[in-house]
Amino acid sequence: MNRLVVFDCDGTLVDSQANICRAMDECFTRAELPPPDPARTRRVVGLSLVEAMEAMLPDGSPELHRTLAEDYKTAFQRLRGRGGLADEPLFPGVAELLADLDAAGWLLGVATGKSDRGLLLCLDHHGLRPRFVTLQTADRHPSKPHPAMVELAMAEAGAAPETTAVIGDTSFDMAMARNAGALAVGIAWGYHPPGELRAAGADYVAETADEVRNILERHPWPT
């Protein structure tokens, strides 16, 4: 079986919180709601949009949640049109980590709450799309922590749960990895604290991109 590493995007590969918070503020303002605290917005990063709005406004109607999700998409696209991708920089060491894993024979994938369009724009902006053999988004799957994204990534890459690692910054990523039977590797530079990652089932928590590389190298993978 092939070895596969599936990365989350927002909060793991790129620091997109500035754009996410601005888009959330815009969609709430359009709905004549007070903009949420940025810390609350960061709590739902990783969920699909409708599920994120449900978490933000649990007493809201399904119609409100769908409207907010659509308005969020529109706001995020406007930010990109104004050059907002400059506010989605790669985290330190990520480009080097991807290059090293690729060179070491790992297959790479992404599982994200972004749309297909948003993910491709982000990866193309950073010149990373060729690194990945499988891209899974909220357009075609249930929201995290459902394992569907990881399961299809493994099928497309010819990998098995015991030869797959999921790298992410939220408790949703860790629960998704566990639900898929994959190794769950949390990263401490994202949007959920290490304690929450461990509580959600993280097998390891890495402080840096170099530590992610070291974890994958020393983990006892099946031969």
Confidence at residue 223, expressed as pLDDT on a 0 to 100 scale = 80
Q: In the chain, what are the domain boundaries?
A: 2-15+88-218, 17-86
From the number of C-beta atoms within 10 Å of its C-beta (0-12, 13-18, 19+), residue 77 rates as: middle
Q: Token pair for residue 58?
A: 């649990």
In the residue annotation, 8 being an active-site residue is answered as: yes
Average pLDDT over residues 86-109: 94
pTM of the model: 0.88
Minimal CA–CA distance to 48: which of 74, 75, 70? 70
DSSP 10: B
* Mean pLDDT, all residues of the chain: 94
Choosing from 10, 15, 169, 173, which is the catalytic residue?
10
Q: Which residues contact 161 (CB under 8 A, 6 or more apart)?
A: 154, 180, 181, 182
Please give the sequence-ordered ranges of beta strands (E in DSSP) within the chain, or none if there are none. 2-7, 107-111, 134-136, 159-168, 183-187, 204-206
Q: Token pair for residue 216?
A: 């994958």
Write down the CATH number for the domain with range 2-15+88-218: 3.40.50.1000
Average pLDDT over residues 132-136: 98
Q: Token pair for residue 111?
A: 């599982």
From the number of C-beta atoms within 10 Å of its C-beta (0-12, 13-18, 19+), residue 152 rates as: middle
Write the single-letter amino acid at 31: A
Q: How far apart are the first and last CA of the chain?
A: 9
40-81 per-position pLDDT tens digit? 998 898 888 999 999 999 999 999 999 999 999 899 888 777
Confidence category of residue 83, pLDDT binned at 50, 70, 90:
low
CB 100 within 8 A of CB 213: yes
Choosing from 8, 71, 169, 173, which is the catalytic residue?
8
